Structure 1
Amino acid sequence: MAIVTFTSPTMHKDKAVYAVAGDTKTILALAEDYNIPISFECRDGNCGSCLIEVTYDDPDTKKAIMLTDKEKSTLKELGKLTAEEIENAEVNDMPPRYRLACQFIARDENVTVSFTGEPGGAS
């Protein structure tokens, strides 16, 4: 089980929720379940409006799923992902700090998800 803590200047206080290990809900779907206001437009990884910053509570246990091709392309276009970060993700299984909420699935790690509340804005 993962604990996902959402933080944003648009929220009165941070909110921590459980993500069931093995569940394939994205961070965006989890946020919707708990009425957490992450902006989104397409739900498909193309627009970048659901940009989030992910911090791992224990950096040694990063287990997030791989970047999708759409996510890589969109994050590169937004200037949030470098070639070095892509290589580190693909070769060393080290996910980058910026992700798209519609693509990112927390697995068995505790994370903090930061977002501005504005489309395409991570804290």
Structure 2
Amino acid sequence: MPNITFSSPLHKDKTVYAVAGSHRDTVLKLARDNHIPIDFGCENGECGTCLVKTSRIDQKHGPMGAPLTDQEVKVLKELGKITQAQIDAMRVDDLNHSEWRLACQMVLRDEELLIEYPSK
């Protein structure tokens, strides 16, 4: 089980254990289950409200989280958080080339992550 640390300028950092590989449990669900106040709107990857920045705590492994969904790619591109070159590379490599994710779309793998989110 990986440790996921949630960090925000207005809230104390909180580290939680996550079950990897469920293919359904998103970062947003993990945050909500653990009373971490990540803002969200639609919960289906259309609004971009749940934008988070991800980084690996353990640098030994490859890309973070499951691959980006098509909806996530569309919204991240609209928000200016992913370039067409990153999208093209992702399609060729089948690897995530962006530190930016939508919490409602990101499914965890067995990796320790830092997830930074804005606070209101």
Fold conserved (TM > 0.5)? yes
Aligned residue in 2 for 1:89: 90
Post-superposition offset of 1:54: 0.2
SS across alignment from 1:14: strand
Aligned residue in 2 for 1:79: 80
User: Contact 1:54–1:113 (CA<8 Å) still a contact in 2?
Assistant: yes
- Per-residue deviation, residues 19-56 of structure 1 (Å, max 9, x unmatched): 11222310000000010000000000000000000001
Task: Tell me the matched-pair count.
Answer: 117
Query: Structure 2 stretches of 5 or more lacking a match?
Result: none
TM-score w.r.t. the length of structure 1 is 0.88
Are residues 1:45 and 2:19 paired? no
CA distance in 2, matches of 1:76, 1:82: 6
CA distance in 1, matches of 2:97, 2:29: 20
Query: Structure 1 stretches of 5 or more lacking a match?
Result: 119-123
Post-superposition offset of 1:106: 1.4
Aligned residue in 1 for 2:111: 109
Runs of 4+ in 1 over 6 A off after TM superposition: none
- Per-residue deviation, residues 50-76 of structure 1 (Å, max 9, x unmatched): 000000113342352111111000000
CA distance in 2, matches of 1:22, 1:70: 20
